[in-house]
């Protein structure tokens, strides 16, 4: 009947009646308008067009201080009418907020908290008008906490909980709630219901403990009470304690690793997975401050974390990896401890099993990139089959175009606890900015300073194994042409260069030449990044020195000599670039076609000017190069 009422033109005369001074007329008019607006787009639009909401809002503002029963009944009806008017309609809710309804409702709640019907209507209205910034400028926190303290019925408390939860997400209101004593109220509810078996006790325990996790910076007795939840046999309480601690852990002063270790020990084998998630999240936050990492290790946290890497739950694996990453970040001694406990084979296994899980894959790749920086680890990583796993991963994503698990360029891993995109969020942010697959292989191919001829020979064998892997080189050459992704292209070029520079092997050079990699290295020498230019020139110099005959055609086809002439002529070129360009010029003079190109471009003039270069190494090399060019002219 609501539609016909609107079509019959009943709304305008009803709005007229809102100007009456007769309280009974106002009461019945409010009820009629509320009924017409209920779940009716036509009814709401008609009331909006006639300005009915503004008139009702003004009535509430003028009457809210009157505590007479009849007046409270009218206020209840008017609040209900506005609730029906704005329910599930963002534009009408915004309209009421702009009219200043929220502060009025908060004041009304404080004055009429003894009136159950009116109080419930206000709480429902708060749920509709979830504009947190507006609430932050009122005393809503104080009023809600006071109202909560008065309640004895489960249903009434739950209704207040529903309003408190979204409000507590706002930092300003959260602080107001703490100052108003909400945390103490929640702790009291937990104490009263923790051993209860009634359904309503369990519900209140869950809601109260869940709310606790929103409050950070626990101190004194509150913090101690939360810590006391950890030894509980109640999983909900354990979960809430761990979640609350995860927030408290952001405060560097809270040393809580022992409690978390206790919790993990109880759940590491066949424990509650949700509790594991919460405890691991807390550990991840706890290990962000550098000075907390040592205590975490001393407390014995690493062994249970390593054990959790065998979990079948992917979220547990992800949180475990992130926690370990934060604890061991930028610490070779802690990374070595992980290696000794067998973490590399475990991560390789995870990469194979869970390659479809992007976040988990990225976590593994970040770990490989970090661990490969430690002396000797690269050998171990190659021996465990990481190269094959990375190649399989590249193959899987080459068609999908998922660049979060393909190469991208970067200088260093993200700081722990910081995000790029949502860290990719936390520790995963590095893999968003860096080509982790390619970088992990590149790091694994890097030289390490390990004493001993046996280790040295093994290291060369490992690097040769990478550089002579035709499939790897083929894939890298393909990615060197990924012009839509500059980072992918750049990082792939850098790996090609690294394979040559760190192996100094003729077999590796031969594989790169046959795979079509030379032209990409020449292009890399023209990069805007000096470090990439230099890496390319060193690699090209090794190619020329080790197998100039095989590379001659590619050098000519890629205009190498012309590129070198430009680099030497450019005053902006760094000393390293000029030096390595001259080294390369000398190296290619043994090729007849390349020698002719050098002569045709009058290199002697360019090189002779460099004899006066301020850098002594450059000027000395210029003299040697000029002599070589003159002798072979």
Q: Is 500 among the domain residues?
A: no
* Lowest model confidence (mean pLDDT) among 34-48, 70-84, 386-400: 386-400
The string of pLDDT tens digits covering residues 463-522 is 566 778 888 888 888 888 877 777 778 888 888 898 898 888 899 999 999 999 999 999
Query: pLDDT tier at 137 (50, 70, 90 boundaries)?
Result: confident
pLDDT average, residue stretch 562-589 = 92
Higher pLDDT pick, 85 / 271: 85
pLDDT for residue 583:
93
CATH code for position 300: 1.25.10.10
Q: Is 66 among the domain residues?
A: no
pLDDT for residue 414:
35
Size of the chain, expressed as the number of residues it contains? 633
What is the pLDDT of the chain when averaged over all its residues?
75
Q: Which two tokens stand for residue 520?
A: 């990409």
State the Cα–Cα distance between residues 236 and 315, nearest whole angstrom. 19
pLDDT for residue 413:
34
Contact 15, 51 (CB under 8 A): yes
> In the Cβ-directed half-sphere of 461, how many Cα atoms lie within 13 Å?
11
pLDDT for residue 464:
65
pLDDT average, residue stretch 3-17 = 89
The string of pLDDT tens digits covering residues 57-91 is 999 999 888 889 999 999 999 999 998 888 888 88
Look at residue 33 and tell me whether its pLDDT is greater than 60.
Answer: yes
Residue 429, φ and ψ in degrees, nearest 5: -60, -35
Higher pLDDT pick, 606 / 134: 606
Closest listed residue to residue 325, CA positions, set 347, 358, 310: 347
Q: Which two tokens stand for residue 611?
A: 């004899």
Number of domains in the chain: 1
The string of pLDDT tens digits covering residues 279-306 is 565 555 555 556 556 666 776 777 877 8
- Report which secondary-structure segment, H or E, holds 366: helix 358-371
pLDDT for residue 258:
44
Sign of the torsion formed by the C-alpha atoms of 500, 505, 509 and 511: negative
Contact 446, 498 (CB under 8 A): yes
Contact 125, 76 (CB under 8 A): no
DSSP string, 79-123: HHHHHHHHTT-HHHHHHHHHTTHHHHHHHHHHHSTT-HHHHHHHH
State the Cα–Cα distance between residues 117 and 573, nearest whole angstrom. 79
Determine the Cα angle at 505 with ends 504 and 511, to 5°.
120
Q: Is 430 among the domain residues?
A: no
pLDDT for residue 421:
28
User: In this structure, how many other beta carbons lie within 10 angstroms of the beta carbon of residue 624?
Assistant: 13
pLDDT average, residue stretch 314-331 = 78
Sign of the torsion formed by the C-alpha atoms of 311, 317, 323 and 326: positive
Look at residue 241 and tell me whether its pLDDT is greater than 60.
Answer: no
For the CA atoms of 501, 505, 507, 513, the dihedral, rounded to the nearest 10 degrees, stands at: 30
pLDDT for residue 437:
46
Q: Is 306 among the domain residues?
A: yes
pLDDT for residue 217:
46
State the Cα–Cα distance between residues 279 and 319, nearest whole angstrom. 9
Instruction: Identify the domain containing residue 311 by its residue range.
Output: 215-367
SS3 call for 447 = coil
State the Cα–Cα distance between residues 118 and 34, nearest whole angstrom. 15
* Lowest model confidence (mean pLDDT) among 89-103, 233-247, 349-363: 233-247
pLDDT average, residue stretch 539-564 = 93
Q: Is 447 among the domain residues?
A: no
Look at residue 631 and tell me whether its pLDDT is greater than 60.
Answer: yes
Higher pLDDT pick, 352 / 448: 352
pLDDT for residue 378:
63
Query: pLDDT tier at 51 (50, 70, 90 boundaries)?
Result: very high
SS3 call for 504 = coil
State the Cα–Cα distance between residues 576 and 599, nearest whole angstrom. 23
Give exposure, 480-511, as e/b (b: 16+ Cβ within 10 Å): bebeebebbbbbbbbbbbbbbbbbbbeebbbb
Which range among 75-89, 385-399, 573-587 has the greatest average pLDDT? 573-587
Look at residue 579 and tell me whether its pLDDT is greater than 80.
Answer: yes
Look at residue 12 and tell me whether its pLDDT is greater than 80.
Answer: yes
Q: Is 390 among the domain residues?
A: no
Query: pLDDT tier at 29 (50, 70, 90 boundaries)?
Result: very high
pLDDT for residue 533:
93
The string of pLDDT tens digits covering residues 605-622 is 888 999 989 899 999 999
Q: Is 545 among the domain residues?
A: no
pLDDT for residue 207:
61
The string of pLDDT tens digits covering residues 434-464 is 334 455 555 555 554 433 443 444 445 555 6
Q: Is 236 among the domain residues?
A: yes
pLDDT for residue 124:
81
């Amino acid at each position: 009947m609501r539609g016909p009422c609107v079509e019959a033109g009943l709304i305008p005369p009803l709005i007229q009646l809102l100007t009456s001074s007769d309280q009974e007329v106002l009461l019945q008019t409010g009820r009629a308008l509320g009924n017409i607006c209920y779940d009716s787009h036509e009814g709401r639009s008609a009331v909006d067009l006639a300005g009915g909401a503004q008139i009702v809002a003004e009535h509430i503002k003028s009457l809210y201080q009157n505590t007479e029963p009849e007046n409270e009944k009218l206020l209840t009806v008017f609040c209900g009418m506005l609730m029906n008017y704005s329910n599930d309609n963002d534009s009408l809710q915004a309209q009421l907020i702009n009219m200043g309804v929220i502060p009025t409702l908060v004041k009304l709640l404080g004055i009429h908290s003894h009136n159950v019907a009116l109080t419930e209507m206000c709480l429902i209205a708060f749920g509709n008008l979830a504009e947190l910034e507006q609430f932050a400028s009122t005393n809503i926190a104080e009023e809600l906490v006071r109202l909560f303290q008065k309640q004895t019925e489960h249903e009434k408390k739950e209704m207040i909980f529903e309003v408190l939860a979204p409000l507590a997400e706002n930092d300003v209101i959260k602080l107001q709630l703490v100052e108003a004593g909400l945390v103490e109220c929640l702790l009291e509810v937990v104490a009263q219901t923790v051993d209860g078996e009634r359904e309503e006790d369990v519900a209140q325990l869950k809601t109260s403990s869940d709310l606790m996790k929103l409050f950070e910076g626990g101190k004194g007795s509150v913090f101690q009470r939360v810590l006391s939840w950890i030894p509980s046999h109640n999983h909900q309480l354990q979960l809430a304690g761990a979640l609350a601690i995860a927030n408290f852990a952001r405060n560097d002063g809270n040393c809580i690793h022992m409690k978390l270790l206790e919790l993990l020990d109880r759940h590491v084998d066949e424990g509650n997975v949700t509790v594991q998630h919460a405890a691991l999240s807390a550990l991840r936050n706890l290990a962000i401050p550098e000075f907390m990492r040592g205590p975490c290790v001393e407390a014995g946290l690493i062994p249970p974390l390593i054990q959790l890497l065998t979990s079948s739950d992917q979220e547990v694996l992800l949180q475990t990896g992130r926690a370990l990453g934060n604890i061991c970040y930028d610490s070779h001694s802690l990374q070595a401890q992980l290696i000794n406990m067998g973490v590399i084979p475990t991560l390789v296994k995870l990469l194979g099993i869970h390659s479809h899980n992007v976040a988990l894959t990225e976590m593994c790749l970040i770990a490989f990139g970090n661990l490969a920086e430690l002396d000797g680890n690269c050998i171990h990583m190659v021996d465990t089959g990481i190269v094959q796993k990375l190649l399989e991963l590249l193959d899987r994503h080459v068609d999908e175009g998922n660049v979060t698990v393909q190469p991208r360029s970067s200088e260093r891993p993200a700081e722990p606890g910081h995000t790029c995109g949502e860290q990719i969020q936390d520790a995963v942010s590095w893999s968003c900015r860096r080509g982790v697959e390619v970088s992990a292989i590149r790091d694994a191919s890097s030289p390490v300073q390990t004493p001993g001829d046996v280790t040295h020979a093994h290291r060369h064998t490992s690097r040769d194994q990478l550089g002579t892997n035709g499939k790897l080189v083929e894939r890298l050459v393909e990615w060197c042409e990924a012009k839509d992704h500059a980072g992918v292209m750049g990082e792939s070029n850098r790996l090609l260069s690294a394979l040559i520079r760190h192996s100094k092997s003729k077999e590796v050079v031969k594989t790169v030449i046959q795979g079509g990699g030379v032209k990409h290295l020449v292009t890399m020498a023209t990069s805007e990044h000096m470090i990439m230019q230099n890496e390319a020139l060193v690699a090209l110099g090794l190619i020329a020195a080790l197998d100039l005959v095989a590379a001659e055609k590619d050098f000519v086809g890629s205009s190498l000599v012309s590129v070198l002439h430009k680099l030497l002529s450019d005053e902006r070129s760094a000393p390293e670039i000029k030096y390595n360009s001259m080294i390369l010029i000398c190296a290619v003079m043994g090729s007849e076609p390349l020698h002719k190109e050098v002569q045709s471009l009058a290199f002697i003039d360019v090189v002779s000017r460099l004899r006066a270069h301020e850098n002594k190494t450059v000027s000395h090399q210029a003299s040697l190069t000029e002599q070589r060019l003159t002798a072979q002219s």
